[in-house]
Amino acid sequence: MKVEGQDWFYTDKVKTHFLKPKNYLKNEKEVKKFDGYGRVGNMKCGDIMEMWIKIQKDKIVDVKWRTFGCASAIASTSMLSEMLTEKGGMKVDDALRIRGKDIMDRLGGLPSIKIHCSVLGDEALRSAIKDYESKKVSKTKTK
């Protein structure tokens, strides 16, 4: 693909995750059994990210997400969801240490003007973990 006389300026990994995103929410029914939900972004600028996480034995074993954002936001969150669920799932504490740079490194980079898009996924992830932890605390208090 050419943009204003230039070749496609995304890496092949970004292109793959944009065109065939992993763990993208296709149907609302898919999120009924998830443990945490996060939503971040700003509708005024057009970037909104939602994420649902399933946790078993302190590991994130499933992720669903959707976004109203650009190719970089889609690819970054697709890669993040893959990072979280590979090898049987990632421990919650390890997931909290993921940063946008980690995601960009796995994608092989993003154009500098699109770096801010890579943080939407990890911000939504933190929000979903916070939601999960608050529910866990609530359950403990009601027992």
Residue 119: both structure tokens together: 């943080």
Q: Which of 47, 112, 117, 43 is nearest to 80 (CA)?
A: 117
Residues marked active site are found at 45, 117
| CATH at 67 | 3.90.1010.10
Report the phi/psi class of residue 117: left, alpha or beta, with left for phi > 0 and alpha for psi in -120 to 50: alpha
The total domain count for the chain is: 1
Longest dimension (CA), the chain: 64
pTM assigned to the model: 0.86
**Is the pLDDT at 141 greater than 90, yes or no?**
no
C-alpha 130, offset from chain centre: 15
Which pLDDT tens digit goes with each residue over 55-100?
999 999 999 999 988 888 899 999 999 999 999 999 999 999 999 8
The domain in which residue 56 lies consists of 2-142
